[in-house]
Chains A and B, each alone.
Chain A
Amino acid sequence: MKRRPHGMNLDDGVELLSAEDFDRLYVAARPEEDRRILEWLDDPEAGAMILAGQIGMGKTTFLNKILRNKSNYPMVRVEFDKTPQDETQGAFLSILFGSLLKEALDLGGSFDGIGITLPDFGLSGSDGWEVLRDLLLVAPTSIAKAHQVYTAYEVFNQNVRQVQRACVELIDLIKRKIGALPPIIAEGVDKFAISHAGYLGLAEVLDFLREYKTLYEANAIHLFDAGRRWVTSDKLFIGPLTDETIVNMYERRLGSYAPLYRDTFYLLAQYAGGNARQALRLLNSYYFQRIQRSNDRTAALAMATHRVMKDLLQLGFTKFPANTLAVFKRDGYVEGSLLSEDIEHRQEARDILYRNWAFLRSDPVPGTTRWPLFINPLVNEAIAWEKGTPEPPELTAVRQWAKNHHISPMGLSMPEDDEGRPRWKQIWEQLMSSESSEDELNIVRLLEEIASSLFSVNRQDRIMVSYRNPQNLNIALDYLIGKASAYGPFLCHEIRLIGGGGNNPVATLLAEVKEKDEATIYGVFMEGEWTSDQLGALEYLRDRFIDVQMLWFVEHNALLRYLPHWPQFRQLLRFYVLEDDFLSTLTKEEIIEDLSVLSNFYGPDDIGLKRLGHVLHHLDHGD
């Protein structure tokens, strides 16, 4: 991702990857964790270790930073969340095998007698092991290739023990070459909830890796999957960042403009709850509300918290465990046994952590089993409201503004009875009902909301627009892409994904976005009835789209059904609802001006000109 050298670098909280990312934006905040990972890497006798934290705490960025500095260090990186096309044990095992093979090939060596041969996968000896490596690790570029990959997965599924032995052989081979056990970085384990079907297959592979020098990138809830062998590994917990660290992040993100916004940093940080992604989404949203929408500071803060709460947290789409949260809030901790053993409540408690409704502060003090915890500040007020609790006047102002504008049934404002107590029934009703009018946008407002993403080569964001009237879609896309080309030479690549039995829309998507280009906007249309498995695949493969600019369109009621499947995928998205009467605010004069200006730069065949031409025709003739 290109970064601006001096100015603002906002995004929706994606991991930092490049040297430029780290130089400009990284804030070192975890010296102790840093030290422990480095010690682990340097210790030839080290065993397995779990790096665990909740969604958005910055685990991946933290890990990327350390591993970047050790780029010459031999290690095996296994991307469980990026490579597999399936969620079976065989698929995950194939990724492990492929990753070991890759490192072994780089080091050079013979693979005779490892217990697996190329003909096992329909390859000839002359193909070379590189062909098998690529088959297992490189995303297929065609349906035929995908079929080959699935066939390979089946071979792994039916020969688990044999493949495990082959993996041991490869680990030994690497060990002989480098003189020590290779560190194996099991990346993306955190994308798999314990309740997720794919986790069963993955956990078998993770258990196998327990005997080796493995670093698992896991979600905090995995620490409570008692009974799993891999969970008995040493643990390194990644907790919330301090407010000071968040403020430093804000300073870096706003670059030379930071002094102009400094007065709000501390307030935003208070709503971030130490969660890096939540913090960045708040800053992004605040900036938009303040600058593009010209709201004053108080209103911008209220609107930003509302937007982030709706985008990131899965409120309203599932039963909200108010009672359990109230107990958590009262106690300020959660007993480890509640998350691992209590059959009746553990799913609810795990959901609370997996969906970031509450944040673990740290691991338990030695000798105890209590995990210190606090409620996510964005939902805190709804859990157990305490009238009279002192708060800064700015927060009171924000709350009052939100209340006056009816922007949120949760967090910032709540229906209260005459005595100032929350009206819980009304709150749940509001949560389950449709969105507030703030969420429905005409096309001009929608453009305003997404312009900074769509028109910038400095960002690759993903927007999901839901609609009630499918006839709106083509003209909406024409308008948005036409407008984008007024800001630069953007291309639009349209992808129609049909869900439902017998289809594999996610494989289609992966094949279509293979060639990533910062000047391409992918217009993705979700059609048909997507199944749980198909929705789940988007969930765990979400990082495959992290550097792609996407504009998703989905029917509104379908989106409401799909959202519960995406506690993680939704973290990459912002959601908007397209009004039925969405063109009413658009003027012909604006389109004519765009066409006139663009025609000076582009030829008549330019796609932006054509798309805006369609819009003008639509405004003229209404078809």
Chain B
Amino acid sequence: MTPEERVRRCILWNKIERLLFSPASVADKMQWCHLYLMSLAKLWETEPFAIQGPAFPRNSLNTPIPGFSIFYDLSRWDNIRQCSSLRMSFEGIEFASHDIDHAYHDRNSLSDPHPTGVLSYYPRIATRRDELTYDIQWVLDRYLLHPCAHVHPLPEIAGYMGPIIEALRDVLHEVRFGLGITNPFAALFQFRINLPVRETPEDTQTLKETERDRIAHLVCDAILSSPPLQTIPPGRLFGIT
């Protein structure tokens, strides 16, 4: 990676976060969460879930992994000190809480470039869309599909026995929960894109890449539109409209 690529991808990363994972008003957040929950079954190819109660500021989602559910609480995300938590449970027992507390900065936030003028980093008009798309895919891969620091659920946690374990291990290795995500909407979104599985690891990867490419296309269009979009409507983000 060249120094120029480093810089532009860093800015692009922030731009993507603004476009996809930064609903502004309460109504926007409500809509984002509601449509998020609604969209899960379609992408996962599971039975539709009934949404119980308001989707915002807190609710929970059941996943296709039996016994594994996620509760999220975004009620303090609008505070001056932004906080949120995504609590993961297995068989009703909470085993981890992905807390985000912006009073404690992570290393990247110390040099957080404002994502203005993204296009100035792609000066060649003839190749702009291709370069931009490639970089967006590159960022989405590292942001959501395969975050640098991640955990895999292991089959042993479900008490699976004997030969079942090895078959499951391959499947579950394609499920990655990023540990360093500091935006709760992005953290929720990574569950959406990481939890569906296919028969083989390769097929699972293909599914995720297809969804990544769909989103990359939306982001690219948003950046290249005139005037550039400030946010991508959640209906489009979740493939509902």
Chain A residues packing against B (C-beta within 8 Å)? 4-8, 10, 255-257, 259-263, 287-288, 290-292, 294, 296-297, 444, 447-448, 451-452, 455-456, 483, 486-487, 587, 589-590, 593-594, 596-597, 600-601
Contact = CB atoms under 8 A, between A and B. Distances in A.
A550 to B, nearest CB: 17
Given A291-B63, A456-B48, 12 more contacts: A8-B45, A256-B45, A259-B167, A260-B197, A261-B66, A292-B62, A294-B62, A447-B50, A451-B48, A452-B47, A596-B27, A600-B235
Interface of B: 27, 30-31, 34-35, 38, 41, 44-56, 62-67, 69, 91-92, 158, 160-161, 164, 167-168, 171, 196-199, 203-204, 207, 235, 240-241
A434 B122 CA distance: 72
A483 B38 CA distance: 11
B198 A263 contact: no
A6 B64 CA distance: 13
Contacts of A456: 41, 47-48
Contacts of B44: 7
Given A7-B196, A292-B62, A589-B54, A597 B31 contact: yes
A334 B222 CA distance: 72
Contacts of B66: 260-261, 290-291, 297
Contacts of A290: 66-67
B91 A296 contact: yes
B128 to A, nearest CB: 32
Contact of B50 (A6, A294, A451): A451
A436 B134 CA distance: 59
A296 B45 contact: no
A601 B235 contact: yes
B56 to A, nearest CB: 7
B65 A260 contact: yes
Given A296-B92, A587-B53, A6 B62 contact: no
Contacts, number: 115
B50 A256 contact: no
B38 A256 contact: no
Contact of B198 (A6, A294, A448): A6
> Which of B48, B56, B62, B199 counts the most A-chain CB atoms under 10 A from its CB?
B48
B153 to A, nearest CB: 10
A296 B241 CA distance: 36
B161 to A, nearest CB: 7
B45 A262 contact: no
Contacts of B199: 6, 255-256
B49 A601 contact: no
Contact of B67 (A256, A296, A597): A296
A10 B47 contact: yes
Contacts of B31: 596-597, 600
B47 A8 contact: yes
A257 B204 CA distance: 11
Given A5-B45, A260-B64, A292-B62, A448 B30 contact: no
A292 B45 contact: no
A272 to B, nearest CB: 19
Contacts of A261: 66
A291 B164 contact: no
Contacts of A600: 31, 235
A76 to B, nearest CB: 39
B203 A6 contact: yes
Contacts of A292: 47, 49-50, 62
Contacts of A596: 27, 30-31
B65 to A, nearest CB: 6
Contacts of A262: 164, 167
A252 to B, nearest CB: 12
B45 A6 contact: yes
A621 B92 CA distance: 37
A451 B55 contact: no
B197 to A, nearest CB: 5
Nearest to A456: B48
Contacts of A297: 66-67
Contacts of B34: 593-594, 597
Contacts of A447: 50
Contacts of B30: 593, 596-597
Residue of A10, A444, A455, A594 with most chain B CB atoms under a 10 A cut-off? A455
> Of A256, A290, A296, A455, which is in contact with the most chain B CB atoms at under 10 Å from its CB?
A256
A590 B54 contact: yes
Contact of A291 (B64, B161, B235): B64
A261 B123 CA distance: 52
A256 B198 contact: yes
A294 B47 contact: no
B196 A260 contact: no
Contacts of B54: 587, 589-590, 593
Q: Which of A5, A7, A260, A291 has the most CB atoms of chain B within a 10 A radius of its CB?
A: A260
Given A259-B164, A263-B160, A593 B45 contact: no
Contacts of A448: 50, 52
A486 B38 contact: yes
Contacts of B167: 259, 262
Contacts of B158: 260, 263
Given A596-B27, A600-B235, A257 B56 contact: no
A256 B47 contact: no
16 contacts: A8-B45, A256-B171, A259-B168, A259-B171, A260-B171, A262-B167, A263-B164, A290-B66, A291-B62, A294-B69, A455-B48, A456-B41, A486-B51, A589-B54, A597-B30, A601-B235
